[in-house]
Amino acid sequence: MKMPVIQVRDLIASRHFQWIDHLSTTNIEPEFVNDTSKTVVLVTESDFQPGYYANATFKFMQFGCEIQIFYKAKADFDITSAEIEFQRLFVANGWQVAISREHVYDPDTGQLTKTIYVEKQEPILEKRN
């Protein structure tokens, strides 16, 4: 089973959003940290824990990812529509949008940012001998 950040990264990449210029997992590469000419999306893990205990073991893993969007300074697209389509992608693929935070400006770069938390439960299939 792929790690949650890889699952989320692959899902976002599969949609080919035209407004996303760069997609990172865990850390933003140094060349993109202060680049306000690109919209950068960062995916990090926010939850990875067992759940639903039965028969002295757990049956699911609770996965969660934090998605931070750093919009380019001169966004040339409808941010609200883009975010709705973005979040619907997760719902359509078995994820739940747990939290969608308000927009804030990054104090260092002045970029508009958005943070979204997505989660899902992944069943653990028991191996039989």
Mean pLDDT lowest for which of 10-19, 26-35, 111-120? 26-35
Q: Cα dihedral angle (25, 12, 96, 61), rounded to 10 degrees? A: -50
pLDDT above 70 covers a percentage of the chain that reads 96
Strands 22-25 and 40-54: parallel
Distances (CA, A) of 17 to 51, 64, 75: 33, 22, 14
24-83: pLDDT as tens digits: 999 999 999 889 999 999 999 998 888 877 777 888 889 999 999 999 999 999 999 999
51 forms bridges with which residues in the sheet?
60
pLDDT at 19: 97
| pTM given for the model | 0.90
